[in-house]
Structure 1
Amino acid sequence: MPLSSPAATARAVPDTRQRGLMALLLVVNASMYAVYMGVGSVLLPTQVAAIDPDHKVALLGLIGGVSSVFATACNPVAGALSDRSGRRNPWVLGGALASFAGLAFLGRVHTALLAGIGWCLVQGTMNVYQAAVTAIVPDRIPSDRRGTASALVGLALPVGGTLGVLVASASAEHLPVGYLVLGLVAAAAALLLTTMCRDVPRAQDAVPAPALPWRRRAAVFLSALRSRDFRWAFVGRALMVLGYFSVVGYQLYILDDRISLPKGLSPAEAMAVLTPVSMAAMAVSTLAGGLLSDRWNRRKVFVGVSAALAGIVMVVPVLVPTWPGMLVFSALNGLAFGCFMAVDTAVVTLVLPRAEDAARDLGVLNIANAGPQIVAPFVASAVVTAFGGYTPLFLFGGALSLLGALAILPIRGVR
């Protein structure tokens, strides 16, 4: 079935309900990014540094690498199961409540092993939540409004990221409180969506599909990658996200070990300054990129230019390793990443191979989105350890972003 099918269904929904749905999508995605950014950028690095300050870089990388298995596996599996069930809300609410439990556990542990187990649980359950939330856009939003919808979803990163980092920075001395607050934010957002936006069950086959061997199931899960356009979108997203989060995930340690901060400003407090700067710039470019890409019906130029800019600005902290340099870097990096994520999301929804497999295929795409975010600490720690410092890390992240810009060029189905 062509992708126009869910678009046609979505057009039958009144505009007022679509606007309400878009607002809810902003809320639920923002809560997700609040967890990812608050925990990944502040709470978990702080916790790891307290557990073992001498080996914090390697230990954070190890925890991130192991938890990536749970994140990347749970997302497409949950997406496929929500496709099969024909509903999204149970997966959204169930994932959020399970994540709250995982965050509560994580806030109470004092060993590296238990911290790793807790972060694996949170990553796995948050990816169940993310898979179902992501599928709502192709389910309910017409193709000619995907750019606007994607802009609002993209706006969730600066909104949620700022909220998460501010909460985490304020509770850096009281980690259990920070974990609980972020868990409550995600659970409340999921409850709001599932209460205000009722599921529209999709038609199910009268005859159940026959059971398949596990190898065949894996091939079916990844079948979208046989589509040339989808495959290049996957590669571009993975490179860009890995480059971005390789640096952002270690920003607390970079501020502590490399940057001379103003007197009286702690690394956690510096994060509470840099993150709103980056996220405000991201919000501007997210909205501008999404709306302009709809108006001009052009997507690739926005994605390619923003990814290239993200690669170039990585040299700023290398050339100017100062507090003002970090402020400039944060603003420019936010501009680039916000535009990329907003418009690239629209690109992805337009190159999905089959509408009826939207959640499953977006789950595969989310491997390129969630996987690199979690793998990034492992990769970054290897770069820092192997090459001795954070300068190679900035250059590595910049190179990945530039490669991500090149990956958009072979896509043919989107202008």
Structure 2
Amino acid sequence: MTVYPATGSGTETAAAPAPLRRIAPLLTAMFLVNVFGYAANNAALTVLLPTQVRSAAGDDAVATLALVTSVSAIASFGIPPLVGLMSDRTRTRWGRRSPWILAGGVTTAAALVLTGAVSTVTGLVIGSFLIQATINIGLNIILATIPEGVPPRRHGLASTVQGVGIPVGGVIGVQLGAALAGSPMVAYALLGGLFLIASVISAILVRDRSSTALDDPRLERTPIGRQFMAMFSSLRDRDYRWVFVSRAVIYMGYYIVFGFGLYILQDYVELPAALTPTAAVATAQTTSIVFLTIGTLIAGPLVDRLGRHRGFVLISSLLLTSSIVLPLFSPSWTMFLVQAGLSGFALGAFLGVDLSLATLVLPKTGDAGRDLGVFHIALTAPQVIAPFAAALAVERLGGYPALFVVGGVFAFLGSLTVLRVRPQRVDK
């Protein structure tokens, strides 16, 4: 496998006509990678890591979980655009994307098994970092296949498939995590094995024609430092920057609350006597994911038919904002389930159009892998940074009520930022 350097101009580099392929195999690959990638990620962040941290840190679990997940933010920031940039310049007989999808599966499986084998805070910090570093390889690379293999008029469908993969994976992950919380090694090994299998199948399905033929005589050898500094150049584009900011801030509000779901159920919500917090978080997550799937399936096809991407994002994010603050009115199990369902539907509607909007405003630089890697940070970074903000809210600003307020504020601000994106026209 050869990795070629970036061009000096940064415009339409090694770009050849997008490979002709049926989109069904590509969408299947996208679905598989997202299902089993987010199954592993959701199980780790929602159930397994919090359980391991509680066992390792005891009463300091809230602050320790924030430390564990915040350190892994480094991987979420750096890995997606770096791997995307390298895949853009990869030349093999198997194409550009497939080798990286396969590599992501192998390394993620290893990182998950390692995390299941540790029991100290230091070990969990390292394990969480490696999970985020490796799992984001495949989850990011698969996004680059959308502008390369899917017509713009079907980007809503691609966004829906990608979005539905997240809740389906979430159900699998949270149920496996809850069922095997007492045996983390078994849970991590099973999740790693499933993701590896999905990655192998997806690498085969995505495989395009040999990318050794994509060499461009205009390629210039550019110092690696300049290539690295150019990784975030896509954010200079006004519309792409505001789509990125909107996604990041909305997800920040979401994960501030729902990343602490297990602790909220343990320390704040009044549960029925026969219901344990671990079983409760699995039920709530499943409820949320069912409604998330419904929202995604509705929004994606509608945005392909109607357009109005900004309007869909705005309405769904405002609905998410209102759902986040519901437990302020009653710390009951019933209210928590209502919150789970409403927030799931809102997030699903957001997922059904968010990626579609991003691919429409994607800068035409010939670096789709790199630029969508940057966009992927807007999803992954809040997921690992939010626990730090949540811990500050719980410990310094007034407990769990402050948590819901802070999360709601972030989601509301994110909903406003999408208005800065100019309306997009899609040719039918």
State if a TM-score over 0.5 links the two structures.
yes
Are residue 241 (structure 1) and residue 251 (structure 2) matched?
A: yes
Quote the Cα distance in structure 1 between the aligned partners of 2:299 and 2:275: 34
Which shifted more, 322-331 or 19-28?
19-28
User: 1:70 touches 1:124 (CA, 8 Å); kept in 2?
Assistant: yes
CA, structure 1 residues 288+355, in 2 after alignment: closer, same or farther (shift >3 Å)? farther
- 1:315 pairs, out of 325, 328, 331, with 325
Superposed CA deviations along residues 58-101 of structure 1, whole A, max 9, x for unmatched, are 00001111110012111110000000115111111111111111
Match of 1:209 in 2: 220
Equivalent residue for 2:139, pick from 108, 114, 130: 130
Q: How does 1:338-353 map to 2 (within 5 A)?
A: 338-353=348-363
Quote the Cα distance in structure 1 between the aligned partners of 2:265 and 2:184: 20
- RMSD, matched Cα: 1.6
Q: Are 2:404 and 1:404 aligned?
A: no
User: In the alignment, which residue of structure 2 is the partner of 1:360?
Assistant: 370
Distance between the aligned counterparts of 2:232 and 2:206, measured in 1? Answer: 30
Match of 2:343 among 333, 347, 354: 333
CA distance in 1, matches of 2:239, 2:157: 21
The one-letter code sitting in structure 2 at the alignment partner of 1:372 is: P
Aligned ranges 1:190-209 → 2 under 5 Å = 190-202=199-211, 203-206=214-217, 208-209=219-220
Q: Map 1:16-415 to 2 at 5 A.
A: 17-86=22-91, 87-202=96-211, 203-206=214-217, 208-212=219-223, 214=225, 216-354=226-364, 356-414=366-424
What is the deviation of 1:207? Answer: 5.3
Contact 2:314 / 2:416 at 8 angstroms: preserved in 1? Answer: yes
Counterpart Cα distance in 1 of 2:88 and 2:200: 20
For structure 2, the 5+ residue unaligned runs are 1-10
Partner secondary structure for residue 107 of structure 1: helix
CA distance in 1, matches of 2:223, 2:412: 40
Q: Distance in 2 between matches of 1:407 and 1:298?
A: 16
Could you tell me how far 1:117 is from its partner in structure 2?
0.5
CA distance in 2 between counterparts of 1:142 and 1:157 reads: 22
Farther-moved stretch of structure 1 (126-135 vs 288-297) = 126-135
| Partner Cα distance (2:382, 2:392) in 1 | 14
Task: Work out the number of aligned pairs and report it.
Answer: 407
Q: What is the rounded CA distance, in whole Å, between the counterparts of 1:371 and 1:171 in structure 2?
A: 27
- The one-letter amino acid paired with 1:166 is Q
AA of the residue aligned to 1:324: T
Deviations 1:153-197 (A, max 9, x none): 000111001110000000011111111111112111101111233
CA distance in 2, matches of 1:197, 1:25: 9
Shift of 1:413: 4.6
Q: Distance in 1 between matches of 2:75 and 2:280?
A: 31
Give the AA of the match of 2:26: L
The letter of the residue matching 2:40 is V
Deviations for 1:368-405, whole angstroms, at most 9, x for unmatched residues?
11111111112211221111311111111111111111
1:201, CA displacement in angstroms? 4.2
Contact conserved, 1:138 with 1:355, CA < 8 A, in 2?
no
Deviations 1:36-75 (A, max 9, x none): 1110000000000011111000000011111100121111
Post-superposition CA distance 1:249-282 (Å, at most 9, x none): 1000000011111112111111121111100100
Instruction: Give percent identity, aligned residues only.
Output: 37
Gaps of 5+ in 1: none
Cα distance in 2 for partners of 1:366, 1:198 equals 22
Distance in 1, matches of 2:210 and 2:147, equals: 14
Structure 2 Cα separation of the partners of residues 315 and 221 of structure 1: 37
SS in 2 for 1:356: coil
